Amino acid sequence: MARNEDTSNQIYTDGSKKEQVVGYGAVRFKGSEMFDILKFKLDNKSSNNQEENLALHKALVKLKG
């Protein structure tokens, strides 16, 4: 009997800005296993929305590669 394993990719992203701290992060799971973690701190010139979009972009680039 063949095992039915979940090999789908799930990506969770977040961007954040609080006072002078700005950053984003992304985590990729393949099935239930964590594959990649991305996290970066940036200068305080970016907005929260820019960080959210950057996190999504970086996660998609990582998944493609």
3-state secondary structure 6-55: CCCEEEEEEEEEECCEEEEEEEEEECCEEEEEEEEEECCCCCHHHHHHHH
The mean pLDDT of 17-31, rounded to a whole number, is 84
Which 3 state secondary structure label does DSSP give 63? Answer: helix
pLDDT at 24 over 60: yes
pTM over 0.75: no
Query: CA–CA distance from 54 to each of 2, 6, 15 (Å)?
Result: 40, 28, 8
What is the model's pLDDT at position 1?
Answer: 45
Query: CA–CA distance from 20 to each of 8, 25, 40 (Å)?
Result: 37, 17, 14
pLDDT exceeding 90 applies to what percent of the chain?
A: 0
What is the model's pLDDT at position 16?
Answer: 83
